[in-house]
Chain A
Amino acid sequence: MTVHRGRGFACINYPIGMNLGGDPSQALVHSNPDGKFTVALSAIDLGQGMKSVTRQIAAETLGVPIEDVYVDTADSDTGPHDMGSFASRGTHRMGNAVIMAAQEARAVMLEAAAEELEVDAADLMTDGRGNIHVKGAPSRSITTMAAAQAAQFRQGRTIAGRGIFLVPLSEVDPETGEMTPVTTFAHAAMLVSVEVDDETGEVTVTDMQSAYEVGRALNPRLVEQQLRGGAWMGMSHAAWETTEPHYPSRDHGPVDFGTYLMPGPGDLAPHHISILERPAADGPFGGKGPGEMCANPVLPAVVNAVYDAVGVRIDSLPVTPEKVLRGLQANGGARPRHRL
């Protein structure tokens, strides 16, 4: 029995969103009489942090404290239309829609403030702390709450905004099939180290080194959380998880957490993450989306690392001990690539 070490590399381009139907997302923003804002979205936060990021985007665009923004999601009966939370599209699509809606609402808020202060709205600015004041004259100011109440009770204005993200549907070239399905790509590179036991066929991931390019990381801690958890899921897909039966019929397939295998807290490999920020021209404040791409490079990198370690080329996932052993048998034993 020998344990063989190998390293594998993979890199990916990951499309953000999709082209189907123009990939629309809508957002509605309105102020309440207390000067706080509600952002209505129909896409949901599954835990990936969409509410946090759209809240940041709305507060930044409106020029109000983040505490003054509430993001209301998840009722697609009453909310504005959205394609949904998938395709790593949330930050980019919904973020752009939120910016558009928040800009419209901000303009009305400034008009309401201008009327109260008897100045031109173009001369006003927000301080991000709940105040609106004349540029160069901070003492001529009004709170966002007072502006909202004036709009509501005296001026009869609606401080509200509508936003939509939509890309023109890309025609498919009938000759070549060429089309432009997405507006932006995220990128990642991953180097994985493994140990392969040539007697048992077991593959152990021992180290992961990655670099993810995500546009601007609008919330760096959430980005890191997503990448760390998603890469773990990629490792799980690479070497553990399958709904297919092993032998010989579906009756032997996994039916519960005892038989559907996933790496637990004792099976972790150290993962060193580098986040590269290259703001996307069409992204909200440069953001793209670190969604699904966090898992994608791990799978080919693990397969390549197994090939490097023992010379067995696995072409179906997951990389089970059986597949490794069959490959070793077909090759007449381990053929570590780095010794060739």
Chain B
Amino acid sequence: MALKPVTFTLNGNAKAAFTEDGQNLLDFLRRSVGDLSPKYGCGQGGCGACTVLMDGAPVLACLTLAEAAQGARIETAAGLAGAALHPLQEAFMERFAAQCGYCTPGMLMAARALLDRNPRPSRDEVIEAISGNICRCTGYEPIIAAILDVAEGRVRA
């Protein structure tokens, strides 16, 4: 199997790593690059736990070929916090929007993508944005409330 180099940016930092034919982006990020924040849930695009942003758009890393990251801007939950937590992270904490936490990185990235393209979404738009992400613990309401808190300026930026 041929190894192919992939150069890209991960959360703003230039990265290069080798990928094998057919390797998916989730496996590539976790094993080859070492970013464990995207989670493996179902491996078939049904749960959203692996959601990352590719050039600003949310993608399911488990269904995306690693080669597609060539030259791309990849953002994961590990890159959300700077010196302080990202407002979405603050809001998720304030609203108790995580229990086991497995869906949380995917939820955060789906929410981040929404707010980047639509800073003042309606409740229905928030629901639409996270409808590809499954959560077992929270009953979704705290997650919706957290995203709306950020959208409506109730969390310090």
- B-contacting residues of A (Cβ < 8 Å)? 46-49, 221-222, 224-226, 228-233, 256-258, 262, 264-266, 268, 271
Q: Would B99 and A47 count as touching, CB distance under 8 A? A: yes
Q: Would B44 and A46 count as touching, CB distance under 8 A? A: no
Docked complex: B87-103 residues within 8 A CB-CB of A: 96, 98-101
Note all chain A residues with C-beta closer than 8 A to B127: 264-266
Interface string of B92-124 (1 = CB under 8 A from A): 000010111100000000000000000000000
A47-B144 contact, Cβ under 8 Å, with A256-B46, A257-B42: no
A46-B100 contact, Cβ under 8 Å, with A256-B46, A264-B131, A265-B131: yes
Minimal Cβ-Cβ distance residue in B for A231: B139
Q: Would B101 and A265 count as touching, CB distance under 8 A? A: no
Interface residue B54 (Cβ < 8 Å from any Cβ of A):
no
Write the nearest CB–CB distance from A63 to chain B, whole angstroms: 27
Note all chain B residues with C-beta closer than 8 A to A222: 96
Residue from the list B44, B99, B101, B130 in contact with A229, Cβ < 8 A:
B99
The docked-state distance in angstroms from the alpha carbon of A233 to that of B139 is 7
Q: Would B140 and A47 count as touching, CB distance under 8 A? A: no
Q: Would B139 and A257 count as touching, CB distance under 8 A? A: no
Note all chain B residues with C-beta closer than 8 A to A46: 99-100
Interface residue B17 (Cβ < 8 Å from any Cβ of A):
no
A228-B142 contact, Cβ under 8 Å, with A264-B131, A265-B131: yes
Note all chain B residues with C-beta closer than 8 A to A232: 138-141
The docked-state distance in angstroms from the alpha carbon of A221 to that of B138 is 12
Task: Count chain B residues whose beta carbon lies closer than 8 angstroms to a beta carbon of A.
Answer: 24
Interface residue B136 (Cβ < 8 Å from any Cβ of A):
yes
The docked-state distance in angstroms from the alpha carbon of A224 to that of B138 is 10
Q: Would A228 and B99 count as touching, CB distance under 8 A? A: no
Note all chain B residues with C-beta closer than 8 A to A48: 99
Interface residue B47 (Cβ < 8 Å from any Cβ of A):
yes
Write the nearest CB–CB distance from A192 to chain B, whole angstroms: 14
Note all chain A residues with C-beta closer than 8 A to B72: none
A47-B142 contact, Cβ under 8 Å, with A257-B47, A257-B134, A265-B127: no
**15 A/B residue pairs, CB under 8 Å, sorted by A:** A46-B99, A47-B98, A47-B137, A225-B138, A229-B139, A232-B140, A233-B139, A256-B42, A257-B47, A264-B140, A265-B131, A265-B140, A268-B139, A268-B141, A271-B139
Most buried by A among B47, B128, B138: B138
Interface residue B143 (Cβ < 8 Å from any Cβ of A):
yes
Write the nearest CB–CB distance from A235 to chain B, whole angstroms: 8
A257-B46 contact, Cβ under 8 Å, with A229-B99, A265-B130: yes
The docked-state distance in angstroms from the alpha carbon of A271 to that of B141 is 10
Residue from the list B42, B98, B134, B140 in contact with A268, Cβ < 8 A:
B140
Note all chain A residues with C-beta closer than 8 A to B136: 233
Known: A256-B44, A265-B131. 8 other contacts (CB 8 A): A229-B99, A229-B138, A231-B139, A232-B138, A257-B42, A265-B140, A266-B128, A271-B141
Note all chain A residues with C-beta closer than 8 A to B128: 266
Note all chain A residues with C-beta closer than 8 A to B47: 257
A225-B134 contact, Cβ under 8 Å, with A47-B101, A257-B42: no
Q: Would B46 and A265 count as touching, CB distance under 8 A? A: no
Residue from the list B42, B46, B96 in contact with A221, Cβ < 8 A:
B96
Q: Would A258 and B142 count as touching, CB distance under 8 A? A: no
The docked-state distance in angstroms from the alpha carbon of A47 to that of B16 is 35
The docked-state distance in angstroms from the alpha carbon of A78 to that of B156 is 43
Write the nearest CB–CB distance from B66 to chain A, whole angstroms: 23
Note all chain B residues with C-beta closer than 8 A to A233: 136, 139
The docked-state distance in angstroms from the alpha carbon of A266 to that of B137 is 16
Q: Would A228 and B44 count as touching, CB distance under 8 A? A: no
Note all chain B residues with C-beta closer than 8 A to A49: 99
The docked-state distance in angstroms from the alpha carbon of A229 to that of B142 is 9
Most buried by A among B46, B131, B136, B141: B141
Q: Would B101 and A225 count as touching, CB distance under 8 A? A: no
A47-B100 contact, Cβ under 8 Å, with A256-B46, A257-B47, A262-B134: yes
Note all chain A residues with C-beta closer than 8 A to B101: 47
Note all chain A residues with C-beta closer than 8 A to B138: 225, 228-229, 232
